[in-house]
Structure 1
Amino acid sequence: MDTYLTIHSPKSNDAGQYSFEVSNAVGPVTKSIHLSVPSVSIIEVPEVIVGNPIITVPTIQSCPTPVSAMWQKNNRHNIEEFERLDINDAKYFGSSDDPDDPRLVMQKVTQEDALYYRLIVSNGIGQSASNNIYLKLIGGVPSLYVHHETHIMEKSVTLVCEMTVPINSPTVSDVFWTKDGRKIDITGSGGKYSGGSIVNPSLSIKMVNSNDEEMYQCCASNSVGEMCSEKIYLGPPRIEFNSPDFDASPKRVTYIATIKSIPVALNAEWKVKQDRNDRFQVIDMHDPLYKGSVIALPRPKLVVNKHKAEQVESFQLEVFNFIASSRRNTQDIVVDSHDAVINKEIPVPLMKFYSK
């Protein structure tokens, strides 16, 4: 005997429990079925490494059979608002909104995917939403710290790149250096450059000269993305003067300079000229007039024990490295190896000192 109940196009008012009872001489048997909106659940996703794929498959219980499904993600600016997820986007290739087999696939998760997701399923009775799952991502791009080492005897410089990768991050896939924003061809450099690899990210530059003056930067990447270090400048030394120290008795002035240089400065020379139109000449450090002066780097010092009325623009410091030399006058006129001149006013204390 076939006995059944047919409900055509069930609606919300058809929801409820339906029971069927059969009896014979022994007794009755009852079976029940419940018509309601779908029950949808998604297992919480564990931590996912950035750059890895992920597949999410829900569990659906529904009577009547579901007729539609829709994946949603929360609005980035409002966690309480959800919007439809476009599974036709290449990012979600392999995903499905088929109510018989819905699934969410991400081939390569990125930091932007760290959102809440859910599935909306509908049947004739109505619709319901799954629990919200949060995609928690771990891992990141490499961190890079750069500094330099100068090898004076070899006339070479190593731009040291210390690279660290966050725990549970994808391995580094590429390391390279740029010079003035252009990628350096290490293998095609004829031995000029070496290093700059995953195994040895530091860059060595042989026979450093004026042609090597430029900004250098180390970059590394993994499946998460790319990170570049701070830029490091190879160029002529930079000279900075402290404020002059004036001693009215016995009329002495002291200049102390700070040298900053990559590659390191090799030597320095204090110079003097006796007349405004003369050329600067290297000072004899043994001259009593300059007793107490030193050319030790990186803090050369000039002591002028006043014996006559030297002009304030009479002294100059010149510092050398493998790239070029830089010169700076004690009156704060800068003259570098490219003949650039920057004029500044003579400090008032120094004018008063020399006017005595």
Structure 2
Amino acid sequence: MEKRHIYRVQYEVPSVKILVDSSVCFGSTTTIKSEVSSTPKPKKIEWQKSKNGINFNCTEKPLYFTSTDIFTSPSYAIPNTTFTDKLYYRLLVWNETGEGVSNAVFLNVTGSPPNIMTSFKTNIKDRSVKLIGNLYVYDDSPGILETFWTKNEKKISGGKLSEISNENPSLTIRNVSPDDTGEYRLTATNAVGSSTSDVIVLGILVV
């Protein structure tokens, strides 16, 4: 007598888990990854976000979705992450059996504007003044994008002024004259925002 083997397939709601770095830097691209186990295969997914981790709503930006397989390993990418993305996220997955809900993860977005310290140094012999700038950003902050000096609140460059850069923000004023008197400030900008130094007041240099 021929034996018949009966195989029973157990259908369950999807099992869903999502993962993200504990903190991400302002301005960077963030990707929330997922692990989905489902029999039968999923037929629908939905990413949701929440301010308090309790009341979730569907994310309104479908262009953020990225995945090689949208149902088995869906991911959610946020380009140019800002503080408005500092929320709770979760993933819902449906199959023919029902709905699976992932754990909720909190996206901690970190970052602050550049920090600035300034001083100045005069050189009587060379008739010059060096406005010394020191810039730094914390490890969890984006790098410096722009640096410039202002005189009486107007951006200055060229002429008898030395060139500056993000790496070397100090400014040398050569052949100092009474025309160079005024209030000088250093400004540095990154993706988070701008910082401006305290005022350096230059008076008439008498030689």
TM-score of the superposition, structure 1-length normalised? Answer: 0.49
1:137, distance to aligned residue in structure 2 (A): 4.0
How far the C-alpha of 1:133 sits from its partner, in A, is 1.9
Q: 153, 163, 168: which is aligned to 2:135?
A: 163
Task: Considering fraction of residues, name the structure with more strand.
Answer: 2
User: Secondary structure at the residue paired with 2:84?
Assistant: helix
Deviations 1:130-163 (A, max 9, x none): 1112223455432111222233333332222111
**Residues of 2 paired with 1:104 and 1:114: CA distance?**
14
Which TM-score applies when normalising by structure 2? 0.78
Relative to 1, partners in 2 of residues 1:227 and 1:96: Cα closer, same or farther, differing over 3 Å?
farther
2:187 to 202, 211, 219: 219
Aligned residue for 1:31, secondary structure, equals coil
1:86 corresponds to: 60
Write the distance in 2 (CA, Å) between the matches of 1:162 and 1:96.
45
For this pair of structures, how many residues does the alignment match? Answer: 206
- Render the CA deviation track for 1:33-73: whole Å, top value 9, x for unaligned: 22332211113435433333233332222234333211112
C-alpha change, 1:139 and 1:226, in structure 2 (3 Å) is closer
State the partner residue of 1:55. Answer: 31
Give, in whole Å, the separation in 2 of the partners of 1:30 and 1:46: 47
**Contact map agreement 2:46 2:91 (CA 8 A) in 1:** yes
SS in 2 for 1:80: coil
Is the radius of gyration larger for structure 1 or structure 2?
Answer: 1
Paired with 2:110 and 2:48, the residues of 1 have a C-alpha distance of 22
**Residue 90 of structure 2 is aligned to residue 123 of structure 1:** no
Supply the distance in 1 between the matched residues of 2:67 and 2:62 (Cα, whole angstroms).
8
Matched, 1:135 2:107: yes
User: Matches of 2:57 and 2:138 in 1, distance apart?
Assistant: 32
Q: Does structure 1 retain, via aligned residues, the 8 Å contact 2:147–2:166? A: yes
- 1:66 correspondence with 2:42: yes
In the alignment, does 2:83 pair up with 1:111?
yes
**Which residues in structure 2 correspond to 1:120-269 (within 5 Å)?**
120-167=92-139, 169-184=141-156, 186=157, 189-190=158-159, 192-222=160-190, 224-234=191-201, 262-263=202-203
C-alpha change, 1:102 and 1:94, in structure 2 (3 Å) is closer
Q: CA deviation at 1:177?
A: 1.6
What residue ranges of structure 1 are gaps of 5+ in the alignment? 1-22, 235-261, 264-320, 324-356
Q: CA RMSD in A?
A: 3.2
The letter for the 1-side match of 2:205 is F
Give the SS at the match of 2:139: coil
Q: Mark the CA change 1:147 to 1:93 in structure 2 (over 3 Å): closer, same or farther.
A: farther
In structure 2, the CA distance between the partners of 1:55 and 1:211, relative to structure 1 (3 Å rule), is same
How far apart, in 1, do the equivalents of 2:125 and 2:155 lie?
28
Contact kept? 1:177, 1:183, Cα under 8 Å: yes
Cα distance between partner residues in 1 of 2:65 and 2:39: 30
Kept in 2, the 8 Å contact 1:145–1:229? The answer is: no
